[in-house]
Structure 1
Amino acid sequence: MKHRSILVSQLIVLWILFEGGVSTAADPTDKSGFDFFESKIRPVLVRHCYQCHSAKAAAGKMLKGGLQVDTREGLLRGGETGPALIPGQPEKSLLIAALKHDGLEMPPKTRLPASIVTDFEKWIHLGAPDPREGGAVVTAETDLAAGRQHWAFQPLATVAPPQLQENDWVRNDVDRFIRARQQTEGVTGNPRATPLTLLRRLHFNVVGLPPSPEEIQQFTRDAEQDFEAAYEAAVERLLASGHYGERWGRHWLDLVRFAESNGYAFDQDRANAFHYRDFVIRALNADMPYDQFVRLQLAGDLLADNNVATNAQARQTLDAVAATGFLVAGPFTTQQTQKERERSRYEQLDDIVHTLGTSLLGLTVGCARCHSHKYDPLPQNDYYRFVSCFKEVGFGDTGVNLQTEEFQAAKAAYDVAHAPLTAAQEKWEQDHLGERFAAWLADRPEQPPVPQLGVWHHAGPFTAADFNQAYDQDWGPEKNVDLKQTFQDEKLSWQPQPDWVDAKLHNTLQGENAANYLFRVIESPSPLSLALSLGADDAVKVWVNGQQVLAKKTMGAAKADQHKLNIPLKLGRNEVLLKIVNAGGGSAFYFSLAAGLPAKEVVAVFKLPNEKWTEKQSLLVRNWYRTTDSQWVALNTAVVEHQKSEPKPNLTQVYAARKKGTSYQFGSDTFKVYFLARGNADNKQGEAPAGFLRVLMSQGEDARQWLSPTETVVPPRVAAAEWLTDVKHGAGHLLARVIVNRLWHFHFGRGIVSTPSDFGTRGELPTHPQLLDWLARELIRGEWKLKPIHRLILTSQTWMQASGHLAESEQRDPENRLWWRRGARRLDAELIRDTLLEVSGRLDRRMFGKGSLDQKMSRRSVYLTVKRGQLIPILQLFDAPDAMQGVGQRNQSTVAPQALAMLNSPFVRELAGHFAKRIRPDAETSLEAVVDTAYRIALSRAPAPQERDAMRVFIENQITTRDGQEEATQMAIRDFCQLLFCCNEFIYVD
């Protein structure tokens, strides 16, 4: 392929010219890496390793193998077998081999869970970031009064925009703060960027898509008449666009480690987690007040109105429930032994509090888990009190009926039709039951006739690739039951289980993502209606005489009376088949015939002569008798059959936080929180009451201001949400600072505080503290709405300025901390993919709903499914996060595989072909017109004359190299389109 090799060589040369980048390795001093160490690595080292591998162990002559792991230096130095780790190379690190018990064993005898090993591999891959220096740290008692003096914990300052002697550079009050510092430091800002530069910048910043040629044309025409009006109109148009929520929602999803699977080895899907993503997009588009946005994510399920009358109210309820996906978006391993569950439950709660701390408060709260925070005024006891606010949080699917109005209408019609049937039954009881009961009583049997329950038979487990397959697939027994039948090449067969007794929980079923079938025969002496009570984890289906009567997913531990239903029995043989489906961990079932069979009291009364029955005993037997009377059974069957047509709410299932939902179950302490010495669940120091971070409470304030003595009145999660958003007495001042700083960060590439997820004492100081507090106050004054803050930033000269290098300003402020220029920024991974789709004409702009794992899907990248074990390759190449922990500031690497992907990816090549068809709709279009159109679509500008000539020549050369092949011109234009995709200007915004 001569022409292909020429294209590749030309593209590579152009890539080098445009990109000129070098690979960036992980920085072992990166702040987010330190946070990962403190939350995931240090607690494991303390709990499992320090006893034998620390300075304290050495002092006590207990050191093993010469290895100390209580300092970074000790790990790098290693012990008798060599260095314990090699930063960046987990596969060559002895520490990983020891954790896997591969030749070495640490801890000895007991191997740690795979999830912990995965965390260590990730940590080493990051460069083994470790803030420890010297030996063991001795933490002094936390001085809260002194801690409150830190700038971030102070109340918001009341400041006015500075008055300036010259205002030529200033467009709004944001610029007054910026320009005042520039004047003090002798720095001059850049002039305003060109209109088209601003339009392209604005589009990518606000909606994440390039302007269309029509939008460029309209803006250019309007700007020539009145630039200010045209620009402000563009700002308003884009802030009102639904794509604004998609663009800024993706930033938020980074912060909260959003994903649609559990992660780790089994990586079980969370099919209904996408509702959280949709909630975020809807809330941002509606400009939901940020304090409400936060409250719903902490306690939306508890704050939601469940008594709704309209579809609009139902949508609000669904969004409130879905919002709590924030709490349960973190990874969750199902690969647990019973012994590991309590420790894993504390890991789960720590993930919630750590994510809340970094994303909302800009504090590494999780670092106070094993000991009081080394740097910030966060005592360990405060940590556990705060964790206790979330002690009842589990996860699971919650059903919400979005068709409330339709359901209510259908239910009303059903009630009208059902009333005559129940009336007929009641009339029969009034007119005939007494007479027929008396006749039966005169010749009653000595004992009440009862159905005979056969022995249980069991077949399974039938193992599937995932839970949904196990639930949906018919593995054989569902067609008909033949106890002689075998399954899966005779590996499985029906086995009698004579020891299984009713009304008892049986923990005997096996298999992850597996189905087990249970079968029994019931011989009935007459037609009966029996009340059946069931329990199963994580799903159950029931058939009676071949008819399915129940199909339910519970996604939780089995327990008595989980499902109740009436089953009709015919005279003689009845067959009951159960299918129990387990997602992971242990599996159990419960079965009891709760009614229809004569109760013990009825059997006891039968032993007495009729004349000795009391009125109460007679009524008891009469109520039982009617269930055996053929006339009553016929009337009752009509009622029961019609009940089958009763409208059921069409529930939309939402994966979200659920009070006492799925978690690591380990008994009565599952939903309690204890103070843990050194973070060790085996060393409890008393139960932790709910509470908050005292450093963020006004001096003398008490948590009881928000909490209630009775948790049912004000649940602790609701109290936590109120405390978090309370500006006067709680954490609201810090909440406001953090979010306006994040807005600034995402608009400029760096925040006023350059460590956006760490406002603690180890974080950077704000470059413009007065501006930060002024913006925070503006947010609160504007009822916490974010769009007005966007508008302030987007219409400021600071944001609108050009990116020119001014020699004197650069000399005085080489890091641009005074915002005297606008730096070029590479598009995020999702925006690169979205832009490829948009310019090629293939973008599907449909919003919301389930996503896809297919990277060729034509919808926006925010709708690509985030499956932790199957991340989208092209997004990973351009530094999309892995969703294992929240990310407030993405890494930005420049590595060879990125260029190779743009050159060789079949997906990119296919889109280049579509782009070629878009810019050359017919053979009459000249090559100059093709180049002009391509530049306007892809780069939002016209080509310079020399560019137009060079690209025309490039296309002509590509046509020539194809030696007259059919479609040679179109293929050459496709090569040109791919060349534009590889340009620096395509993936960077000035």
Structure 2
Amino acid sequence: MPSIRPALVALLLVAPTLAADKPAADRKGLGFFESKIRPVLVRHCYQCHSAKAAATKMLKGGLQVDTRSGIRKGGETAPAVVPGQPNKSLLLAALKHDGLEMPPKAKLPASIVADFEKWIQLGAPDPRDGKVVATQSIDIEAGKTHWSFRPLADVKPPAFDRGETVRTDIDRFVRAAQQAKGLRPNLRATPLTLLRRLYFDLVGLPPSPDDQQRFLGEAEQDFEAAWAGEINRLLASQHYGERWGRHWLDLVRFAESNGYAFDKDRASAYQYRDFVIRALNQDMPYDRFVRLQIAGDLLAMTGAKTNPQARTALNAVAATGFLVAGPFTTQQTQKERERSRYEQLDDIVGTLGTSLLGLTVGCARCHSHKYDPLPQSDYYRFVSCFKEVGFGDTSLNLNPEAFQAATAKYTAALKPLTDAVATWEKARLSVRFAAWLSRRPPEPPVPTLGHWHHAGPFPAADFNKAYDTAAGPEATAGKRVNLGQIFRDGAVGWQVQPTWTDGKIHNTLSGNNAANYLVRIIDSPSALPVEFAFGGDDAIKAFLNGTQILNKKTMGGVKADQHKVKATLAAGRNELLIKVVNAGGVSGFFFRLVGGQVAKDVVAAWKVPAAKWNTKQKTAVRNWYRTTDEEWIPLDAAVAVHRKTQPKPQMTPVYSAKVKGTSYQFGGDTFKVYFLARGNADNKQGEAPAGFLRVLINARANDRHWLNSTDKKSPVKPRIAAAGWLTDVDNGAGHLLARVIVNRIWQYHFGRGLVTTPSDFGTRGERPTHPRLLDWLAGELIRGDWKLKHIHRLVLASHTWMQANGRSADAEKIDPDNRLWWRRGARRLEAELIRDSLLDISGRLQKNMFGKGSLDQKSNRRSVYLTVKRGQLTPILQLFDAPDAMQGVGKRNESTVAPQALAMLNSPFIRELSGGFAKRVRPDAKTSLENAVTSAYRLALARAPDSSEKETMLTFIKSQTASRKGQANAEELAVRDFCQLLFCSNEFVYVD
């Protein structure tokens, strides 16, 4: 197509380069260092590369890695770490055993090496200044004076009359701070600007032209009523949970695979994503939302009788996906498993700390926290609350009502059949047994099994054809077997196998994608119900007297008793034909007769005259005889046939936390937690009891407040106690929990929180810009029964949120960073919203909710339903800073790089969507170009173009048409160029 790049240069503003939030990035990097890097250095490097090693003349290569300056200076060769340049960092090369080797005896796991590479890419943040710091005990009570650890203040909004810039109590707090600095906020933005802002904030999709027209009409009549109605309508939308669920999934490092080299899929992990969306849509109280994610599997109702109860149980179990969403490597030696188990627990507690409490709890793993009142002992006691957590699929029946109805129907139909058997046994068994006894044979009648005969292999083009094709002997199934028969022009015939004994696995068959046939003759003295046990590799079929009784694909090695089948032998000759299908390599089979044999007590009784039988012997023979009676056999067979129809519940797998589920197994201590000196699993200091962070426990309480139970036989499970402590506003962490989540809501609405370090409320984090407002909002959340939608309404009704994005030179001098919220800052849409908007505007978005996702970035579903596979992330989302799901993210990076513009300009996917957009605005040549331009602006930007814009775009379309002189669809393609141009504009990907 003709180039539209010159038009872009002429028509579009260059996207502003956004300065990175360096303090936030530094804090994130330091947290990564403390949790991932320092523990490895301490365990594997300090012995030979530290000040202590130097003092004892044990220093190797002149390299000290126990200080920032030492690790950057390096040893005798070159700098060990060059911040931001992994390829120039000798330490990384040594860890990879690339020329140098550290540690010298064994290479560290690939996951640890990857952590060091990531740390260096982050700039190698390192708080160690090299000075010897005397160990100090932590004063917990003094630590409680930090602003975030204090109880919520009883705050009243400042006195401000309602007016043009004061609409709600939020505005009163904000205006008080502005007034103290001599600032005035901007006036309210235009209705359509507000509407577009609101749609992206709450549902993550642009308002349609119909939505725009409806709102403008309502706002003209009564703006306040129209605005409140629009907020309520969008909060009630099912798409609200999709939008805000994505925020939460960032925090909890949600993914649907293990990560690392093998990156095994977690096929049912999507159930956690669906739980989050449903919970937010239902406005589940936030304290319950948290409790379920900590201990939902322990709180869930077992044996649900109704469908609503089953759905509640599903939510509770799925919620614990929070705990086990982190990466999990399967590349472990036995020696590495214990260390990795502590890494797994650290991931759980570290994520919980940052996402729920805004605390870097993981930094207390190797030593007491350097900055916050979090002793190392508290860390291990808190970790102990989760010591039994593993992961796996929990199976749930989500339709118990249908199962109960089917079971009742089955039971009702079974009763007359079992009654018929009981009636016969009462009326006929004794008479027929006595008659039979008078003429009993000298030996108990048992079937006689002849030798096996084998024919094959019969190769086919592939495994399925070998399985499906009735070759040779199978083609004659239903007829008498001719053991002298020759197949394939004399190439294959029946071969007797007298050494093949029953009850053993015989790996003697061959042929790739081939069938082997086995047959034997079974003589039965009478009609006799029997049970066969089969095994076959990789598939098996069985026919008795021409009737198929088994048809199974196993796709694996043969095993004893893989398949059991009940059948009835006819009196006289019976022919059992088996087909074993092999995919490749050596194949085998297994067979034994399970039922139909005569029990030992019957054989023993047979040796004694009937007149001398005791009660036990008579009962044994009588029960055995019953199974051979020609009147009883069809009655029992009818029961057996019906029992095969017994309904089974339809079970749904749910990836979740499981008590002692999948973990790094290393023996009896797998599900125990010990205090570890320096975080080293080889240096245990005693088993750690369950407990909580003391800085967040009221002086009048202690751990026992949540762990003790009035029922000594049923102690409180530590995870349930932890969930109680986290949400307890009287004695536990409830006030901090509320502060953190209302700050996150503010951040997602404004682009920046009242606390600008949303996952660090500790002493190294930023203090709140409006501490009284933060406490008031947290109090409102608690007073409002922890309902998040209540906080949304407060924020969205405020003038602070509704103001325009104008700049003022005077205000810039006073508050250049807009910390006092005197204007609204423009914000770029997140990656998912950009992709969803492209699909929506092009007319391709499918809004079906829930269920398994897709790895295809061209899927027409919303981006929240794209499968998050750690080793195969979605390219277009990564391009616009979607997280990698290896750790929780409280605030995304917002980069501005050339590949973003290049993708919007050159991607075939974007070009394809531009075509759909063009078809919507100009379905045929009857639609004028003027109307097409206006429609496109309303769809993409939620406004009409001004006269200058319209004229410019019409000129562009005509120019593009002219450049395709001679093409029949030149104008159609030019309109597509114009639509792609709007997709490439700043205004499309930014919200004002």
Which TM-score applies when normalising by structure 2?
0.84
Map Cα deviations across residues 950-985 of structure 1 (whole Å, 9 max, x no partner).
111111111111113111111111111111111111
Aligned partner of 2:821 in structure 1 is 819
| Cα distance in 2 between the residues matched to 1:243 and 1:346 | 38
Secondary structure of 2:34 counterpart: helix
Q: How does 1:280-679 map to 2 (within 5 A)?
A: 280-430=276-426, 567-568=565-566, 635-679=635-679
In structure 1, what is the equivalent of residue 484 of structure 2? Answer: none
What is the root-mean-square deviation in Å for CA atoms of aligned residues? 4.3
Matches within 5 A, 1:813-892: 813-892=815-894
Shift of 1:104: 2.1
Once structures 1 and 2 are overlaid, which stretch shifts more, 710-719 or 381-390?
Answer: 710-719
Question: How far is the alpha carbon of 1:777 from its aligned partner?
Answer: 1.0
Q: Partner of 1:974: helix, strand, or coil?
A: helix
Residue 757 of structure 1: CA displacement? 0.7
Percent sequence identity is 64
Pair 1:767–1:633, CA change in 2 (3 A): farther
Of 159, 166, 171, the match for 1:163: 159
Q: Kindly tell me the number of residue pairs found equivalent between the two proteins.
A: 932
The residue that corresponds to 2:900 in the other structure is: 898
Change (3 A) 1:685 1:168: same
Per-residue CA distance 1:407-426 (angstroms, 9 max, x = gap): 22211111111122333344
CA distance in 1, matches of 2:592, 2:140: 57
Task: Confirm or deny: 8 A CA contact 1:931 1:952 kept in the other structure.
Answer: yes
Q: Tell me if the contact between 2:349 and 2:361 (Cα under 8 Å) persists in the aligned partners.
A: yes
8 Å contact kept, 1:450–1:525: yes
Aligned equivalent of 1:149: 145
Report how far residue 728 of structure 1 moved: 0.6
Give the corresponding residue for 2:243: 247
Report the AA paired with residue 847 of structure 1.
M
Q: Deviations over 1:709-753 (max 9, x none)?
A: 669553222222122111111111111111101000101111111
Render the CA deviation track for 1:29-66: whole Å, top value 9, x for unaligned. Answer: 52222222222222222222222222222222222222
Over 3 Å counting, the alpha-carbon distance change for 1:649 and 1:66 in structure 2 is same
Structure 1 residue 663, shift from structure 2 partner: 2.1
SS in structure 1 opposite 2:855? coil
**Counterpart in the other structure of 1:984:** 986
1:920 maps to which of 895, 919, 922 = 922
Amino acid at match of 2:413: A
Measure how far apart 1:564 and its partner are.
Answer: 11
Q: Which moves more between the two structures, 635-644 or 898-907? A: 635-644
Letter in structure 1 aligned against 2:940: A
The Cα offsets for residues 152-204 of structure 1, whole Å up to 9 and x where unpaired, read as 11111111111137855210011111111111222221111121211111111
Give the corresponding residue for 2:175.
179
1:79 corresponds to 2:75: yes
| Residue of structure 1 in register with 2:493 after alignment | none
Name the amino acid aligned to 2:194: L
* Higher alpha-carbon deviation: 810-819 or 49-58: 49-58
Q: One-letter code of the match for 1:655?
A: Y
Q: Does 2:235 match 1:262?
A: no
Instruction: Decide whether aligned partners of structure 1 residues 960 and 122 sit closer, same or farther in structure 2, where only a CA change above 3 A counts.
Output: same
- In 1, the alpha carbon distance for the partners of 2:516 and 2:336 equals 30
* Residue 217 (structure 2) pairs with residue 221 (structure 1): yes
State which of 7, 10, 15 in structure 2 corresponds to 1:10. Answer: 7
Q: Hey, what does 2:955 align to over in structure 1? A: 953
**1:550–1:931 Cα change, 3 Å:** same
- Structure 2 contact 463–581 (Cα < 8 Å) conserved: no
Distance 1:442 1:708 in 2: 73
Report the CA distance shift for 1:785/1:543 in structure 2 as closer, same or farther (over 3 A): farther
CA distance in 2, matches of 1:520, 1:687: 60
Q: How many angstroms apart in 1 are the aligned matches of 2:42 and 2:502? A: 46
Q: Summarize the Cα distance change of 1:111–1:429 in structure 2 as closer, same or farther, 3 Å threshold.
A: farther
Name the amino acid aligned to 1:688.
A
Larger Rg: 2
Distance 1:329 1:533, change over 3 A: farther
Q: Rate the CA distance shift 1:221–1:137 in 2: closer, same or farther, 3 A.
A: same
Q: For 2:988, give the aligned amino acid.
A: F
* Cα distance change, pair 255–627 in 1 and its aligned pair in 2 (3 A): farther
Letter in 2 for 1:374: K
Distance 1:703 1:453 in 2: 72
Question: How far has the Cα of 1:250 moved from its partner?
Answer: 0.5
Asked whether the 8 Å contact 1:447–1:607 carries over to 2, the reply is no
What CA distance in whole angstroms lies between the structure 2 residues aligned with 1:435 and 1:781? 80
Does the 8 Å contact 1:148/1:154 carry over to 2? yes
- The CA deviation at 1:308 is 2.7
Q: Secondary structure at the match of 1:68?
A: coil
**1:544/1:290 CA distance change after superposition, 3 Å:** farther
Q: Tell me if structure 2 keeps the 8 A contact 1:139–1:372.
A: no
Unaligned residue ranges in structure 1 (runs of 5+): 456-471, 483-495, 509-514, 582-589
Deviation digits for residues 909-932 of structure 1 (CA, Å, limit 9, x no counterpart) = 111111111111221322222222
Alignment of 1:776-795 (within 5 A): 776-795=778-797
Q: Which whole-Å CA distance do the structure 1 matches of 2:617 and 2:112 have between them?
A: 62
Structure 1 residue identity aligned to 2:5: V
Deviates more, 1:279-288 or 1:385-394: 385-394
User: Which structure 2 residue ranges, 5 or more long, are not aligned?
Assistant: 453-461, 473-496, 508-512, 584-589
Higher mean C-alpha displacement, 257-266 vs 543-552 = 543-552
CA distance in 1, matches of 2:353, 2:895: 27
* 1:589-636: CA deviation from partner (whole Å, max 9, x where unpaired): x99999998999999999999999986788688778877878766554
Q: For residue 668 of structure 1, give the secondary structure of its aligned residue in structure 2.
A: coil
Matching residue's letter, 1:697: I
Q: Which amino acid aligns with 1:419?
A: K
Alpha-carbon distance, 1:522 to partner: 12
Structure 2 partner of 1:211: 207
Query: SS where residue 706 of structure 1 aligns?
Result: helix
Q: Paired residue for 2:34? A: 38
Secondary structure of the corresponding residue to residue 658 of structure 1: strand
Change in CA separation of 1:451 and 1:38 when aligned onto 2, cut-off 3 Å? farther
Deviations 1:743-774, CA, capped at 9 Å, x for gaps: 00101111111111111111111111111111
* Residue among 930, 935, 943 paired with 1:933: 935
Distance 1:689 1:448 in 2: 66
* 2:483 alignment counterpart: none
Deviations 1:42-91 (A, max 9, x none): 22222222222222222222222222222232222222332223333334
What is the 5 A alignment of 1:721-736? 721-736=723-738
**Which residue number in structure 2 is paired with residue 694 of structure 1?**
694
- Quote the residue 1:460 is aligned against: none
Partner in structure 1 of residue 494 of structure 2:
none
Aligned partner of 1:461 in structure 2 is: none
2:707 counterpart SS class: coil
**Deviations 1:628-653 (Å, cap 9, x if unpaired)?**
87876655443333222111212222
Q: Please, which moves more after superposition, 713-722 or 723-732?
A: 713-722
Distance 2:431 2:131 in 1: 91
- Give distance in 2, aligned partners of 1:479 and 1:116: 52
Over 3 Å counting, the alpha-carbon distance change for 1:531 and 1:130 in structure 2 is farther
Distance change (3 Å), C-alpha of 1:772 and 1:451: farther
Residue 196, structure 1, aligned to residue 192, structure 2: yes
